[in-house]
Amino acid sequence: MLEAGTPAPDFELPSALDHTQKLSDLRGKRVVLAFYPNDWSPVCSDQLALYSQALPLFEKHNAQLLGLSVDSRFCHQAFVDDRHLHFPLLADFEPKGAVAKRYDVYDEAGGTSQRALFVLDEQGVIRWAYVSPNEVNPGADGILEALEKLDGDGGQP
């Protein structure tokens, strides 16, 4: 996985049925990238529901949350609608896992991304990264600690 201090690779992925999201368009904001294996799995459902509830805490730190998996944008839209999520889910669908591979968090054996978190500063540099076992919800504490550290040190690693 890419480590803290590494510039985050730019990407552009479908974020809804008729929209795309380019990472570099978020310069000036902190970004939380939450790679997860699959829509609809129990752990992913719980993790993303928690992040949707924690959005005001992320926004307090000028952070935009983006969820990424290898599911299609159609699957994402159904998942967002069913789970009432309030942040973009990006479809790393075709070529499958291309962005996860660039961040070195693609699980070749499972054909999905790993459950990985990245916090980027306003310049698009990775300041915190974490991979959780796929069966474990990593929660939001590590993300919030990383964002608070950026607040405390002026964004320096």
Single out the residue of 121, 120, 122, 142 nearest to residue 130, CA to CA: 142
Residue 146, both tokens: 């990383």
Percent of the chain clearing pLDDT 70 (strictly above): 97
What is the model's pTM?
0.95
- Residue 94 sits in a domain whose CATH number is 3.40.30.10
18 vs 146, higher pLDDT: 146
Tally of structural domains, the chain: 1
Is the residue at 16 inside a domain? no
> Does 12 fall in a domain?
no
pLDDT digits (tens, 9 = 90+) for 148-157: 999 987 555 4
Positions annotated as catalytic residues are: 44
